[in-house]
Chain A
Amino acid sequence: MSSIDPEKVKELKRIANDLRVWSIKMIYRAQSGHPGGALSAADILAVLYFHEMRVDPKNPEWPDRDRFVLSKGHASAAYYAALAMRGFFPEEDLLTFRDVNSYLQGHPSLMVPGVDMCTGSLGQGLSAGIGMALAGKMDKRDYRVYVLLGDGEIEEGNVWEAAMTAATRKLDNLVAIVDRNKIQLDDFTDRMVELDPLEEKWRGFGWRVISINGHDVTQIIRALDEAKKTKGRPTVIIAHTVKGKGVSYMENTAKYHGKPPQNEEEYERALKELEEERRKI
């Protein structure tokens, strides 16, 4: 296994921390948004936009760009933060998130530079990803397509229609990542719908399956490398994560799925904890 530059790993960890800080700031300012699933996905987004994906912020519609679909659209805060930090639009705009005059819609919209697909109604992003992957093969372009799904989201039947078709079409330019934080809006996923054995389900549908710790940037990088080497079938990365990762009172609870920090004290505490995390990097 090729070694990964430790400085690169540190940089990606710092970026993931920035995405978490931005998410908290954006959601608290808007008094609206979904911190739990934004915080759990931050490391994945950091690796995708600052290591893995071939994009050009000056030319967001570049035909050869890698595509990304945030199928779990409610993690928009962390996604927008990644796009802004990557240079698609000014970072200061992040603090207009969810405002009536802002282009930063509550859920990803094509109004936002760098967004490849609008999402928000769960279960549809993988289908859009298939369309992009098919078009890539038709046009003989070598771009890759990444789709980030929530684990609650995959309760939607549309996801499994897409899973079957992606394997049927041998779409090895398509990577699905499941943010397995084990919690959805109302409760723990296993109290709603039993998703396990999740790895076996995807394998049964014809996918290459890689399970990782979704907060370990080295593991994320390696899994994406493995996916690239996988030919003739799509790859799914089951990223085991912690809902609300990085803010203690948001961790492992459904309470902050769609709620901002409840007061100034909670807000300050979230930022302080994330600052402490950062110092450890």
Chain B
Amino acid sequence: MKAKVYVTLKEGVLDPQGSAVMGALKSMRFSEVSDVRIGKFMELELDADSKESEERRVTDMCEKLLANTVIENYRIEFE
């Protein structure tokens, strides 16, 4: 089983990397871009069968290590 974890900055938290990338896109004349937020994407290979119990464990992983919930949100997908 594979878990995909998306970690994104919470709303209102400044993202200087996103701002720099947006500046670059604008200078490349992609003028329709009004905001860029940069996050992290992680793929976890899991030796497990039950999505239900793994959901709890991957949530635990996110809370403890993969995200810093002071500034970040996370989202988990299984496949």
Question: Is chain B found bound to chain A in the same assembly?
Answer: no
